[in-house]
Amino acid sequence: MKLTFFAGSVIGYVGHPEALFTRSLATALATRGDDVRVAEARKNEHYVRTLETDRAPAARAMFESFPQVQHHTFDMRRGPRLFEWLAREIALLDLAVAVDGVDDELVRWLANLNQPGLIRIFQTYRPATLDAIRADRLELGLFNAVAAPAALANGRSWSLVRPSVARSDRDAGRLQHIDHAFVNELVAPALSADDLLFAVERVRTELSATPLPQREVPS
**Over residues 190-195, mean pLDDT:** 97
179: region left, alpha or beta (phi > 0 left; psi from -120 to 50 alpha)? beta
| Total residue length of the chain | 219
The helix (H) or strand (E) run that includes residue 5 is strand 2-6
What are 2's strand-pairing partners?
35
Alpha helices for the chain (secondary structure H): 18-31, 45-65, 79-89, 104-112, 132-137, 167-171, 180-183, 189-209
136 band by pLDDT with thresholds 50, 70 and 90: very high
pLDDT at 219 exceeding the cut of 60:
no
Q: What distance in Å separates the CA atoms of residue 137 and residue 160, rounded to the nearest whole number?
A: 22
According to DSSP, residue 146 is labeled E
Question: In terms of Cα–Cα distance, which of 103, 130, 91 is closest to 2?
Answer: 91
User: To the nearest whole percent, how much of the chain has pLDDT over 70?
Assistant: 95
Q: Terminal CA-to-CA distance of the chain, rounded, Å?
A: 45
- Give the span between the Cα atoms of 42 and 32, in whole angstroms: 28
Separation CA 35–CA 47 (nearest Å): 24
- Full-model pTM: 0.90
Residue ranges per domain, the chain?
Answer: 2-209
Q: Residue 211's pLDDT is what?
A: 56
State yes or no: pLDDT of 117 exceeds 60. Answer: yes
Fold of 2-209: Rossmann fold (3.40.50)
> What does the pLDDT look like over 77-100, one tens digit per residue?
898 899 998 999 999 999 999 999
